[in-house]
Every structure is written in C-alpha cells, then in structure tokens.
Amino acid sequence: MKVYGKYKVNGTENVSFDDLDTDGGVPREDKAKYVKKTEKNQKKIQLLQDKLYADGREGLIIILQAMDAAGKDGTIKHVLSGVNPQGIDVYSFKQPNSTELSHDFLWRIGCCIPARGKIGLFNRSYYEDVLVVQVHEINKKYHMADRIVGMDTKDFFAKRYKDIVHFENYLYHNSYRVVKIFLHLSKDEQKRRFLSRIELPEKNWKFSSSDIREREDWAHYQTIYEDVINSTASKHAPWYVLPADQKWYTRYLVSEIILDTLKKIGPEYPKLSIQQINDLQKCKMALMTEQDIPLKPQDKKENDKKANSDSGKKKDGPDKKANPDKKKDTADKKKDTADKKKDPVDKKADSGKKKEPADKKANSDKKKDPADKKADSGKKKDPADGKADSGKKKDPADGKADSGKKKGPADKNADSSGAKTTGKSALDKKKA
C-alpha cells in the first residue's frame, strides 16, 4: 500500500474524520528526511509535467480544499516549485459573487478547465458551492424558480452532489484526471497559526477578521466536509483526506499523490513519423551548409562601437586601431631617415663639401716633409709633453701662457731652429 493509501476515499466506503489523525503520526525528528523526499519528487514531477505538456493527450486537475490556515498556498509553492509555468494554471475560488450566482454553479469552473497537456490547480473550487453555501444557507437567497428555492435543503445539496459526480465523470470521459485533496487540520493547530499571523507583522496580511467568524462554525464545517467527501468520492475522482498539522509531512504526501497520478497517465514525448524525421534531417543539412549571413550596416556599426569601447578600457592613450593613419606616418618617417643614411648619392655629396679650416690644418700636419719632422725632433721638450703634444696644434691660450715665460738661451736656439725649419718647409710646399 502507498504511504497515502490509508487517507484515500474512493466511494466504496464512508470515512469518519474522528478515525483520521491530523499529524500523520510522524515524529518531528524525521522532518529533514521527508523534506529531502519531497525535493526528489519535485524533480520527477517536473520531468513528467514536461512530457505531459509535450504529449497533450491528457489533462490533470488538482483540487485543494481546507479550513483557513491549513496550508494550501504553501503546499502549492513547495510541491510544484520548478514546474514549467506554461504548463500550469492556478485559480482561486471563494464564495460565489453576484455575477457567478446569475449562472449555473459550475459555470465559473467551466471557464477555467485547462487545455489537455496542462495542469489545472484549483485553490478551493466548485465545492465551495456545497460547503460555504450550505453552512450559511445562501441557497435560500438564490434568485431562482420556486421549485428550486422551495426545495428541502438536504435534497437541494444531494442533487448538487450528483451534478458534481457527473461533471467529474464528464471530465474523465474527456481525457482529464481529477485529484481532490482535503487538508485535515485540527482546531488547536488552526488557533496557533492564527495567533502567529496576528503577532508577526510579515504575516498580518494573511489574517482576516472573517476567519474568526468562520472558526465559530468549526463543528458545522467538519460535518459538512465529511458529508461532501463521502458523497462525491469516486473511482476516477477520489478524495485524499491528508493530515495537515505538520506542513512538511503534508507536502510530502501531496507530492507522492501527484507523482503517482502522472505516472498513471504515462505521458511521453511525441514520436515523429518517418516523413517528419526526414524533414528534420533536411533542415539540419540546410543549416549546416548555409553561408554566414553578412551583418547589416546598423549591426556592423554597433559591433565597431563595442570593439572601440573595449579596447579603450585597456589603454590609457588613444586607440591605435582608431588612428591607423598616425601609425603609418610614424613608420614613413622612420623609413625616410633610414634611406637618408644609406643613400650613396648623399654620401658623395657630403664628401664633396668643403672641409673646415681646422680639418685642413690637421691634414697639412699629417703630410709634413721629412725635414720638418727632423726639425721638430730637434726641439728640446719634456718627454711627457712630447707625447701629449705630438701631432696636435697647441691651444692659443697655451701659446700665450708660454710667451709670458722668460726664455733661456736653449729656448732661443730651439725657436730659431724651428723658425728656419718652418720656412724651409713652406718653400718645399711651394715648389711642389
């Protein structure tokens, strides 16, 4: 038997709420274990729901009914988290308004039946028309014919029970599955949750003063719920009266029920015909062989702007890619400089230039007559001075410094000898 099997009501026998617990008899220490199991079921539900949507042959309608604060919204959030939103429709139904009362009581439901392949989740449902309407005897205020309004209350709702069973069979005959879940909450747990909603600011919005008025009819509601469940449970649309005092355990049971129902439906991804498979291969070849589509002018501009902005972030100076001409000019200048150094014509032109006087004098010193060299060697110089001054022209400042000194007889002879040598050298040059 399934873990939720003892809470299932399929119409074969009546159920009494007194025989059903509200906490599931599961110790709180096992919470983590059941939370993990619920998460695993979520992933399996997601996959099957995807197949259901793709298959599109069957639809699933899930109905949640309960007293206030039983955890309907939280159950939806935690169990169906991650389900593809395209494949699920969620609706909330309350006490019928004036527009809905002007139609048959199933009219507002017919507008919300999901397309096959989708899941329809009703947070309260058409069962409100036999629950709250019966508790507060709203049916006696209906604007209907006397044969309806004057009917005995018990007979009136007995007929509605039959209408609901026929409607759910009608849905089953049109390829829909209907799963009905009642969250069985204890009165003490409802009180605790109401107090929490009043005391915690972030939960204040969940509480309404009308909840207290409905709580006053707790016993009446329990009796009506029990009667409704026993009267409308069937093989193809069973009820599940689940313990709701421990939310984490309730969510696990709901996940198990939804998962097993989807498995019974057995959705599969559509199988393609041979023609469709061949068409897919043709489309694949067309995509593989097509040439790259050129960018539109507007797209090209946007790509260029993006490239420039990206390169500008990495460099402090101007973008080199954005100024290719500047880079070219620099290269041309370097090339011109190199050509000038290597050009033989330029070298010849440079060699033909007139040398500076200093260069001439330096050259004339190099081509001295041997007689001059002899005359120079006849000078009495200090060995150190001779090495330093040989082949060089004396600085005029040095000459002046030397002239200031008083010459000795040896110096005079050296000078006269040097003068003669110089004169002779000049004469030799002239003859040459």
Residues 176 and 118: their CA atoms lie apart, in Å, by: 10
- State whether residue 179 is helix, strand or coil: strand
The pLDDT mean for the chain works out to 80
Helices (H), 81-121: 98-101, 107-110
Helices (H), 233-296: 247-265, 274-289
Please choose, from the candidates 121, 77, 83, 89, the residue with its C-alpha nearest in 3D space to the C-alpha of residue 248: 77
Q: Give tens-digit pLDDT for 103-128.
A: 999 999 999 999 999 999 999 999 99
Cβ–Cβ under 8 Å, residues 244 and 22: yes
CA dihedral 37→38→40→46, nearest 10 degrees, is 160
CA dihedral 114→117→122→125, nearest 10 degrees, is 50
Token readout for 13 is 């026998």
Judge residue 294's burial from the number of C-beta atoms within 10 Å of its C-beta, 0-12 exposed, 13-18 middle, 19 or more buried: exposed
Whether residue 319 has pLDDT greater than 70? no
Whether residue 273 has pLDDT greater than 80? yes
Q: Residue 96's pLDDT band (boundaries 50, 70, 90)?
A: confident
Give pLDDT, residue 337: 56
Helices (H) and strands (E) in the chain, counts: 20, 6
Q: What percent of the chain has pLDDT over 70?
A: 69
Q: What is the pTM of this model?
A: 0.67
Token readout for 403 is 């002239």
Q: Residue 278's pLDDT band (boundaries 50, 70, 90)?
A: very high
Token readout for 263 is 């498995």
Q: Residue 290's pLDDT band (boundaries 50, 70, 90)?
A: confident
Give pLDDT, residue 299: 66
Give pLDDT, residue 310: 63
Token readout for 337 is 């400089």
- CATH, domain range 5-265: 3.40.50.300
Q: Residue 327's pLDDT band (boundaries 50, 70, 90)?
A: low
175-189, 285-299, 351-365: the lowest-pLDDT one: 351-365
- Tell me how far apart the terminal alpha carbons of the chain are, to the nearest angstrom: 139
Q: Give tens-digit pLDDT for 152-172.
A: 999 999 999 999 999 999 999
Show Cβ contacts of residue 17 under 8 Å, excluding neighbours closer than 6 positions.
184, 222, 225, 226, 241
Cβ–Cβ under 8 Å, residues 340 and 332: no
Q: Give tens-digit pLDDT for 53-78.
A: 999 999 999 999 999 999 999 999 99
Burial 331-353 (b: 16+ CB within 10 A, else e): eeeeeeeeeeeeeeeeeeeeeee
The domain locations on the chain are 5-265, 350-384+418-432
92-106, 168-182, 280-294: the lowest-pLDDT one: 280-294
Whether residue 417 has pLDDT greater than 50? no
Helix (H) or strand (E) holding 146: helix 146-149
For the segment 319-334, the average pLDDT, to the nearest whole number, is 53
- The arrangement of strands across the sheet holding 59-66 comes to 8-9, 239-243, 176-184, 59-66, 119-123, 88-92
Residues 250 and 260: their CA atoms lie apart, in Å, by: 16
Tell which wins on pLDDT, 339 or 8.
8
Angle of the 31-55 helix axis to the 247-265 helix axis, nearest 10: 30
CA dihedral 401→403→404→410, nearest 10 degrees, is 120
